[in-house]
Amino acid sequence: MNKKFNLPYFLLFVGLLVSCNSVEIFVENKEVPFQKTYTRFVLVNKELGILGFKDQLLDQKVQLALEAQLVDAGLVYDAKQPDLVIRYYSNEDLRQRERVNTMNPYSFWGMRMYDPWSFNPMMGNLRSPVTRTNYELLQVILDVIDPAQDKYLMTITGVTEVTSSKSKSRIALKALEKTTDTFIQVNLTQKN
């Protein structure tokens, strides 16, 4: 069977593999349990002009996306008498990952033909090259507060890695979506 190599489908497949970033969700800081289904909310960042992200454009995108997600889930934005206060912020931590290349460039020389991974005493102590990759550990954090009791209902953290500044906005919005979905599911399972 003679199949032709289809470059556009191959590039699409590779693009999908590269774009898959996992987001881990952590729920913590529960001072009081949910006692009802909350219907009205306010975003503290929007009302007080607090930036939750270092980049102002990204912060605006996150704010609009968060409000839209909550409204789509059936909650109503009410700055005067909310029964739920939500604050969002981020932790953007630059990091570096090191990887040692263990491939020996002289693997089949001389007596090393049968064991290419062992140390060759004739070549001296060759160091394996180390490659360093920069990335950013991004945490999108939502604080959900009950204003009547002035206590935390929960803090939800979405943790992911960003390897390119071009994809940071997309990855941050994906992490926000997963954290907001976690809150919405908890809120909808409560009985009035």
Confidence of residue 64 (pLDDT cuts 50, 70, 90): very high
Q: Return the residue matching tokens 């991974």.
A: 117
Query: 3-class SS at 172?
Result: helix
| Length of the chain (residues) | 192
pLDDT of 48 over the 90 cut: yes
Q: Return the residue matching tokens 């949910």.
A: 34
pLDDT the model gives residue 174: 94
**Half-sphere exposure at residue 127, Cβ-oriented, CA atoms within 13 angstroms:** 4
**What is the reported pTM?**
0.74
- How many CB atoms lie under 10 A from the CB of residue 135? 14
Q: Return the residue matching tokens 């939750």.
A: 52
Decide if 86 contacts 66 (C-beta within 8 A): yes
Confidence of residue 165 (pLDDT cuts 50, 70, 90): confident
| Measured distance between the N- and C-terminal CA atoms of the chain, rounded to whole angstroms | 64
Confidence of residue 128 (pLDDT cuts 50, 70, 90): low
Spatial separation of the C-alpha atoms in residues 62 and 40, rounded to whole Å: 19
Q: Strands 85-100, 130-146: parallel, antiparallel or unpaired by DSSP?
A: antiparallel
Report pLDDT digits (tens) over 87-115.
999 999 888 888 776 655 555 555 545 55
Spatial separation of the C-alpha atoms in residues 7 and 29, rounded to whole Å: 49
Decide if 83 contacts 38 (C-beta within 8 A): yes
pLDDT the model gives residue 21: 66
Give the distance between the most distant pair of CA atoms in the chain. 81
Q: Which of 174, 107, 180, 108 is nearest to 142 (CA)?
A: 180
Confidence of residue 25 (pLDDT cuts 50, 70, 90): very high
Decide if 37 contacts 192 (C-beta within 8 A): yes
Which tokens hold the place of 124?
A: 């001296």
> How big is the chain by its Cα radius of gyration, in Å?
25
